[in-house]
Each structure stands twice: as C-alpha cells, then as structure tokens.
Structure 1
C-alpha cells in the first residue's frame, strides 16, 4: 500500500472516530437554526457575513468532535466486540494521535469562543467541562449518562441562541422533542452494545436494570414526546407541523421496533429509525 493511500485511509479512520455524520448533522442544524430561527428573512444575508455566528457554530462543533474522540478512546475495548470491523479500521490511527487531535480541537474550539465574547467563552467553557465530566463520570451512571448525552447534543443549538440573545417557547418545545429522541437513541445504543459492554466491564443500563425496564422507559419516553408537541401545536405553522408529526411517527415506530425486537438485527433497524428522526428533526428547523 502506498504512503499516500495509507494517509488517506488514516484520515478517513480519524473522521470515523470523530463520528463525522453526527458532526455534519450538527453543523447543518446550527446553520439552519441561525438562518431561519434566530434571524428574520431580511437579516439572513448580514448573518452570513457575521463572524461571531460562524465562530460560535464551529466552536461547538470542534468541542463536540473532541468529545467524540475521547469517548472513542474509552470505548475501544467494548467497540472491538460490538463493532469489530469499524473498530479495526479506526485503529489505523494511533491512540496518541487521536488524543493529540482531541486536544487541538478542544483548544481551537475554546479559542474561537474567546474571540466571540466573554459570554461565549463562558458558555462554551462550561460545555467543554460538561463534555469532560460526561466522558469521565456521568456516562457510567445509568440513565443519568443517557440524559447527559442528550443534553450535550442540544447545547450547541442553545449556544447559538445565547449569542443571538433569542429564546422562544416553540424552540424550547422543539428542543425538548429532539432531546427525548436523543435519549431514546442512547438507550438503544446500550441494548445494541450489551455484549461488548459486559465483557469490557462497562456500565450498561440494560445489564443494571434489565431490558424490560429499559423498554418501559422507552414507552414512557414516547408518551412524553407527544405531550409538548400536542400543547404547542398552535405555535407552529403547517409545514413545521408536518415535520413534527413525521418525526413523532418515526420515533414511535422505532420505539415499537425496539420493544418487539428479539435480535440485534431488529435493534439496528430501530437505531436507523432514530437516525432518520434526527435528520428529519434538523430538516424541519427552517419551518419553525
């Protein structure tokens, strides 16, 4: 294998460790929120030239990418059992290299936040600390770790709202809906990674409380997801309502698949459903 091809594969392996698809979805969601939620139609062109908006978005993206790299480092043993092919590919990148890149991303993200404002560095500094706390402590606490992961996934969007000094009931309700979807996805990831987590000695919510209780939580989560959507439906326009109903339908179907699953194949279909929920959730943002 040529050196150039090997280096290209290492870059792809690093992108896999960073979970590039999650990062890309986060970037798209933040830009859509900035353009269509936090700015009216007359302020969109000036917003595209606003350095603070771009720096805020990329600061949170770099920080989250750093967090993904740290989590990949800690999950290596379990992932080698749950996802052997992907983990084998990601091992093209040395652990020391991954940690150095994580440090560079962390420093770059905080530097970007510092260049925006003191309020931004305060917010993203807390975000960086919570990412560290999650990787080292919270992720090992059943349900608390899953809720923390969902909150951390939403914090970049609220970072943009902090910068633009904008918050509203519809955005809060929609954020709650996406948060419940993220929480469900985290629970299903535990069900998928049950075997590897047990062998690696990791805390797995299904092992601690049993799969029945985890599935009961998913049922409750589905019911809770419909509540904010029902009571805030007059606040959304027709197109946003279509997106929210589609999102809720997919979330419910994914949870039902999880409840009735008897093997990993069914759980993978459910996990794919949660990914579609998040994609639709991001694409619905312009209509809020």
Structure 2
C-alpha cells in the first residue's frame, strides 16, 4: 500500500512538474493583479468579481499556459535530462503519451471555454496555442527568435487583457518595456547557464553562437537600458509608494546584476538569474499592496 501511494505521488509530482503548474499559478496570480489594479481603471471590485468573461479569459490562459509547458517539456525532454536531472527523473515515472493526452485535453478545454465567451477570444487562444507549439517545435532553436518568442508568449495573456480593457498610456508602455527587458535578460542568462546542453542538442542561442562573453555583454546592455527605463518611470510618472520604491530600489538591484554578470563564475550568473526572477515576483506583490491601499482609500 505504501509503495502504491508513493508511486502515485511520484506520478502526480511528475505531471505537475511537466506542466510547470507552480510557475503557471504565479503567472495567473500576476495576471489577476495586473488586470484589476493596472488595466481595469473603471470597473468596481463587485463588477470585476462577477465578470465571468474576465475570469474565463484568465482560466483559459491558465489552461493554455499549462498545455504549452507540457508540449515544451515533451520537445526538451532529452535536454532536460542534462539541465534538470531531478525533474526528468520524477517525470520518467509517467509515460510521455499521458503528457500528450493532458496537452490535448487542456487545449481543448481552453478553446471550448473561449468559444463560449466569444469568437474573438476563441481566435485569440487558438493563435496562442499554435504559437506555443511552434515555439517548442521550432522557434526555441532559432537564434534571437527563441528569446523574443519566449518573452512574447509570456506577455501574450497580459496583452490580451490590455486590449480587453482598452487601457493605453505612456506609463503602461514604459512598464511593459521594463518587463520585456527583464524577461529577455532572464532568458539569455538561462541560455548562458545551459550553454553546453544547448550546443549538444542544436539550440542556436546567443551564448553558443557568439560565446558566453558576448551573451553577457548583451544582457548587461539590456540591464543598463532597463535601469534608464526605471529612472524615467520614477522621475516622470506618478506612482503609489510601493511601486515607486520598487522601481527606485530596482535601479540599485540592476547595478548589482551588472556586477554579477561581469564575474566569470557560473554561480554569479545563477545568482543574477534568481535575483531577476525574485524581483519580478516582488513587483507583483508591490502592485498588489499599492492596489489594495488605493482601493481602501
């Protein structure tokens, strides 16, 4: 009985890791926070809570992102044996055909809900699912396109909510540029850390095409550019206390990131990667806190 429960638990953990549910939940949390406190300028909390279209779109995003993670691990499974041996070992308890079944089920369910909302939402997610498959199948191995498509797909649901609420401003554009640059930096650093595996399996990343030094130099340029964008946001746009502090402290953090990338040690690159990921999460929390404070006033 004990062995049976352990095997079932291993299957569940393997599936959750394959679908990257934990990362997906973070993205959905970020989508909810940004939708209500950033994109939604007029709708009250009551109307937002009972707006089935918004919740339907976000749930479709959750299903589509989970499906995209599954198909991505399907194509990257050989590479993951080198770069993520523990996760690959856990996933080996579950046959690949079950991941594919889950991929089809999640996508079908997402499109079904999207069609119920509107044909525009259906088309939006149909395109999204196709692009995620294309990224996993082809784009992830093409130089520069791999980084741009990864970031673009990460931001795709946020762009959808932006269009839904028709909320456009210079401040939002600058914050989008900030997020785009930080996600691009994260993806390039990730490629630096998986340099050898990418070369073995034919992934044409900046690191294995131009060398690690060149990839780090490009990342440093992006970080410095993001520092400038942060300064513009702080100086020229009115932000609430927590978000203002976030971008102000972020300028110091980006100087630290540059220092870490100038070091040759792999540990420093790994530290820079995790600091940037952590900073994205802190940004979500700061937006949530500022939004709650503004709502209660």
Structure 1 segments unaligned to the other structure (5+ residues): none
| Match of residue 165 from structure 2 | 164
TM-score (norm 2): 0.89
1:273 aligned residue (272, 275, 285): 275
Q: 1:268 to 1:8 in 2, by over 3 A?
A: same
Alignment map for 1:198-209 (pairs within 5 Å): 198-209=199-210
- For residues 162 and 223 of structure 1, the distance between their equivalents in structure 2, rounded to whole angstroms, comes to 29
Alignment of 1:14-53 (within 5 A): 14-40=15-41, 43-53=44-54
Are 1:241 and 2:270 an aligned pair?
no
Q: Distance in 2 between matches of 1:205 and 1:215?
A: 9
Structure 2 match to 1:285: 287
Greater RCO, 1 or 2 (C-alpha within 8 Å, sep 6+)? 1
CA distance in 1, matches of 2:27, 2:252: 22
Q: Deviations over 1:161-217 (max 9, x none)?
A: 222232322222112111111111111111111122223333332111111110111
Query: 1:101 — aligned with what?
Result: 102
Q: Does 1:262 align with 2:245?
A: no
TM-score between both structures, scaled by the size of structure 1: 0.92
* Matched residue, 1:145: 146
Q: Contact (CA 8 Å) 1:60, 1:156: kept in 2 or not?
A: yes
Q: Distance in 1 between matches of 2:42 and 2:12?
A: 38
228-237 vs 55-64, which moves further: 228-237
Instruction: Tell me if structure 2 keeps the 8 A contact 1:181–1:251.
Output: no
**How many angstroms does 1:140 deviate by?**
1.1
Count of aligned residue pairs for this structure pair: 287
Decide which moves more: 234-243 or 21-30.
Answer: 234-243
Per the alignment, do residues 235 and 114 of structure 1 end up closer, same or farther by CA in structure 2, a change over 3 Å counting?
Answer: farther
Alpha-carbon distance between aligned partners in 2 of 1:248 and 1:150, rounded to the nearest angstrom: 21
CA RMSD, Structure 1 to Structure 2 (Å)? 2.0
Name structure 2 gaps, 5 residues minimum. Answer: 292-297
Q: In terms of mean alpha carbon deviation, does 185-194 or 166-175 score higher?
A: 166-175
Look up the match of 1:4: 5
Return the offset for 1:285: 2.9
Is the 2:111–2:122 Cα contact (8 Å) retained in structure 1? Answer: yes
